[in-house]
Amino acid sequence: MTEPVAAPLTFARDRVLLGEAAAGLRAILAARPSTIVPYVGIVETLGLLASIRPAERCALLHEALVAWRAWPGTPTPYTSRRRAELDAAVAGCRGGP
């Protein structure tokens, strides 16, 4: 049997853990790594945070787009597709309510 307060407590804990993960990834990205892994990590983390922090959604999505654009590697079909998705998400913020 699940306690009714378990979901809000988990949600609050998840917000904190995602925030901590984002902070750690920001520090890694400050060194401008050549591997794509931390770029994928920050984009996914910020996307999750955007989904649970509606008041910060657009700022988080914009940060994700800026981080993705900073990746120094050669574009691939995946990186191009992901950038288009982020561009569309951020554009949706500009045209939002």
Tally of domains in the chain: 1
Q: Give the pLDDT score at 91.
A: 95
* Contacts for 72 with CB less than 8 Å, ≥ 6 apart: 32, 34
Q: Give the pLDDT score at 8.
A: 57
CB atoms near residue 57 (< 10 Å) = 19
Q: Give the pLDDT score at 57.
A: 94
| Assigned domain for 1 exists | no
| Assigned domain for 53 exists | yes
Percent of the chain surpassing pLDDT 90: 68
Q: Give the pLDDT score at 12.
A: 79
Residue 83 is part of which domain span?
6-94
| Assigned domain for 35 exists | yes
Q: Give the pLDDT score at 95.
A: 61
- Tell me the CA distances in angstroms from 32 to 55, 71, 84, 96, one per residue in order: 29, 8, 22, 32
Q: Which residues of the chain have pLDDT under 50?
A: 1-2, 4-6, 97
pTM, two decimals, is 0.81
Q: Give the pLDDT score at 97.
A: 45
